[in-house]
Structure 1
Amino acid sequence: MPGNHDGWSPVPFSTRIGRLITRTRATTEPTAPLDTTTEQGGRPGRRLALPALVAAGALVVAGGTAVYAQAHKTVTLDVDGTTRTVTTFAGSVDGLLSDEGVATGARDSVDPAGSLSDGDVVTVRHAHRVTVAQDGKHRTVWTTALTADEALDLLAVRDPDVQLVASRSGGGRPELSLDLSLRGPATIVVDGKELEVGDVRTTVADALEDAGIALGGYDRVRLANDDERHVRVVVQRVSVRTVTRSEEVAFSSSEKDDPSRYVGTQAVTTKGVPGTRTIVERVTTVDGKETKRVLVADTQTVNPVHEVVSVGTKKRPVVSSGGGGGSSRGGPIGDTRDADSLNWAALAKCESGGNPTIVSANGLYHGLYQFSVGTWRSVGGAGLPSQASPAEQTSRAKMLYLRSGAGQWPHCGPRLFS
């Protein structure tokens, strides 16, 4: 039995008994030796003193035993699913947890709270911080659930479509601070297939490993409940790649006045050339579908060449069709210097292949520029154009151009400006 130095006992019974005996001896002991065999008047209580004191001491001891029994308790302590039996003298749940070295925070759950009684079951659940996916966005929440399915059940009260997101630091094993399942089977959804996981206690990473599923560096793992409230582990295959492509850059164009060319004529003096731009993008796909495209670089690797078009501003002269004093062959036929700058050789090659004596199959068109006899005579020609010299044919062609323009040769006329 504990002595007077035990802190839990409120009665220092050893000291109280000693004091009672001392006080009795001081008030009842006679000056002469006592006769312990003869009773004397007024002294019968002398023999009853010791039994009374012994009885008083017995009451004190009985009271201490009752206090001890009340202070000593046997309780069950459940910390995050790990249960053990504890004997304690603590009078409160806080005192029990302090004695057992169980620290708790504001988000943790402790039940019951307050005073502690013998036979109590004290349950402690430490809060876990988990990442959830909701409406396409990630956020962090706290839960005291021990398992993934329990956490999903609690979260589903607010949103049945909420998902738990397993973290993967450095692209390693998917970690979740909760077990995969304690109450039922689970299903792994990956690569268009569904794999059943038995009703066992395991982690997300171990479940995937046991199923032979290897994760890529960017793959994601999420947990959700199915219609039967069983856990579904959804693996999303994520690819992030860099894509490079080229695009053409259109060239610009401008016109400049050219006093050496007649009004209504123009020529490309500087040919425009398209440029090239190189575009680098980072493309993210989830299960084969593109979800994100980020521009990394856009560089113009080849500059375009600016096009310049010369536009004629020179007025056309008025040319007489007869040509005073002109002969039928090789005589003066008017001033054709303004047409000298055009490419007559290109026109002749297009019209006749450059043959001055050629006649069309139907006999209507003659020579280098395929004159009709009527048109030939309208510019002062005599005889057949195919019988005139190449020089005369060219001179007459220039006169026709100055009078009527390149439209006299609908198909080959643009060659004059090449």
Structure 2
Amino acid sequence: MTSLVVGLVAFVGNGKSVQVVVDGDARVVQTFGGTVSEVLDAANVTVTANDLVVPSLTSEVDDGAAIQVNKATAVDVTLNGAETVVHTTGDTVGELVDELGVARTSVISASTETRLTTLSSTLSISTPKSVTIAVDGERRSLETTVNTVEELLAEAGITLGDEDRVSVPVTSSLVTGMGLKVTRVETDKQVTETEPINFSSTEEETDELLVGEQEILQAGVPGERTKVFSVTVIDGKETKRELLSEKVTLEPVNEIIAIGTGEEPEPVTEPAEPAEPADEPAAGPAPAGGAWQALAQCESGGNWSINSGNGYYGGLQFSESSWLGAGGGQYAPLPHLAAPAEQIATAEVLKQNGGWGHWPSCSAKLGLR
């Protein structure tokens, strides 16, 4: 506190007696001064523009009047991260906070009861701020007293990746009403994908099948190609991709189809030469009537044990390949060695794959197709 040294001034004519109170220290001043400023000069009291003087410096002073002087204190303040010097006539931190218009819910580095003259360090004040953050597909509203964007992200538990972007620099100061956007960015992310490779198909002619007949000799199998891409992903959405490599990881297997070129043989009516004893057909009567009997009559003259030497055997004139392919080998190595019923059973299996078309000429004549 400033000590006032007030000399006694002889009261002559218009002399006045005025009480001067400086920061609670009262003194009586005898003066001829007509204004507050003149009285304070007479009392050796120096004031600045930051001090509070009541009444004002230009006010006239009457005898017996009182002048109140509150000297301003310079306080180093960091307000929301910004450093400044505040001149205040308040005595306590709480009075300074009120003078600044700062909410009492602010984070303050000293208690509100602390006298300003006892502060040994900068007074830090962080005011409450309402901000919003858009991140990871959601919008979050936050109340905070931290001062920078970086501190807010840490407080909210938001970790930034090396390539993530924030709509303002992380060193920016926060202000109430601020909106922030965090953009997640991932570049050079490798993605592996596979795609099928279609197989090709080739045809091979064979006279072991009749014209119009087909048989798959080798089934086709698709192959596989593996590709590796470098992908850029922004907020979960792919925005760019670049092919890094590709290779065939599974070769396709080509399909091979046998196409029949064999001509339908003319029915043989002459009995075949007797076969060797080991070549005797299996015993059994020819089935009477029915489509198969009629077909056998057309194909071989109804001779179920015929072997004419033209590559077709039995009453229904099987080729060796069609006989074995339909499972006839379980009965006999060649059709004419099997019983008529066994030949018909094998023909039923053959008919399930291709229908009456295996006997194109005779089935057409008989109206079977």
**TM-score, normalisation: structure 1:** 0.36
Question: Which one has a larger percent helix, Structure 1 or Structure 2?
Answer: 1
